[in-house]
Amino acid sequence: MAFETLCVVGLGYIGLPTAVTFAEHGVRVFGQDVNPAFVEEINRGEAPLVEPELAEHLARVVADGLVSAALTPQRADAFVIAVPTPFLPDKTADLSYIEAAAAEIAPVLYPGALVALESTSPPGTTEKLAGWLAAVRPDLVGADEGLLVDVIHCPERVLPGKILQELVTNDRIIGGLTPRAAERGKELYGIICQGQILLTDAATAELSKCVENSFRDVNVAFANELSLVCDTLGVDVWELIELANHHPRVNILRPGPGVGGHCLAVDPWFIVEADPVNSRLIRTAREVNDAKPDWVVDKAKAALGEARAPVIAALGLAFKPDIDDLRESPARHIAATLARAYPQGAVLAVEPNIHRLPPDLAALPNVALADYQDALDRADLVVLLVDHHQFLDQPPLRPGIPVIDTRGRWR
């Protein structure tokens, strides 16, 4: 096997399942993360995040000695960088995590190693990564000014809740800074990938991920905007969409309280950053989706009327059903905004996939994690924000308690 060892930098929602999947295909994987708690849990064979079947698979490969974690990267044949790429307040990409990863792995690189950037990035980031590596290790720059290390971009395209499955079955796009790098990337990902492996240049691969998520974001924005129109006109948006989707060439998505996660809520801004003049539709879709949580808050305030100290049951904090990922979650934003709007009241957050509130919500004295039924029994208003499977059957509610169903599940 050309790639016998792999170092995965960033052991979060993408990095850890990637490490486990390569290990299950016979590769010795060294994981690196800056979170000491993550490192300790992984080395005990315990998954520090919620993803179906991940805990069982991780325990097995750790017991077999195929995966271990550390606070520093280890020398390996290939490196996969899977660190966050959030946006800054001005909506431009924060590449500091990638730059830090480059500084971490540079000392253990050797000529002929492969570096794969999986973090979603604006076009040109992979080239910047190569420059950061060269700055730390000028000895890895050849006589023709090219790196003696192959660098590629291979964006992840997996669905939370099905990550282990889709890492294997989905097609992969690999963009190399050189044709040789792309071919070596194909060799690496060919170890785990049963789908097609499509080769291109790095900038095209970077843009492809942003385009895929922008396409989805624009379609969600249409549904969310339609829900606003229907509310104004007194039309049931769920019935309307169901009827319209009977057209053989129409497939309108379901509206919701907004768009969250580290992909759809972030990636379109990378296209806007790259070409702000010609990305007007993409920008508008982002603005529509970003505004939807505040619309939900306004609906909640209207339902509460003159109440000064209401108890609000906020059902769900994650950005999608049946996961524990709260990144960019509109539900999280709604819960926090309602808590600040009613400081004398209480927000009872029901999130079955977490055991403690995130710091921003924990800092609010009137927000608490609550049991589902207890929250319903005490609530003056119920807001269904995430359609976790635990919430799909509408429970008996006290007469007269208003409900805001942002997911259309309790119609």
Indicate which residues carry an active-site annotation. Answer: 209, 263
Closest residue by Cα to residue 38 from 5, 8, 71: 71
How large is the greatest C-alpha to C-alpha distance in the chain, in angstroms?
78
Angle between helices 280-304 and 267-274 (to 10 degrees): 140
Residue with tokens 């996969």: 80
DSSP H helices, 106-198, are 125-136, 163-169, 179-189
Q: Are 38 and 83 in contact (CB under 8 A)?
A: no
Token readout for 292 is 């939807």
Nearest to 105 by CA among 9, 30, 2, 184: 9
Give 314's strand partners: 349, 383
CA distances from 166 to 23, 57, 171, 224, 376 (A): 16, 15, 9, 28, 36
Sheet holding 381-384, edge to edge: 367-369, 346-350, 311-315, 381-384, 403-405
Instruction: Write the single-letter amino acid at 406.
Output: T
Backbone angles phi, psi at 292, to 5 degrees: -65, -40
Query: 29 has which bridge partners?
Result: 6, 67
Tell me which residue of 197, 117, 185, 156 sits closest to 18, measured CA to CA. Answer: 156
Q: Give me the residues paired with residue 7 across strands.
A: 30, 79
Q: Tokens representing 124?
A: 């040109």
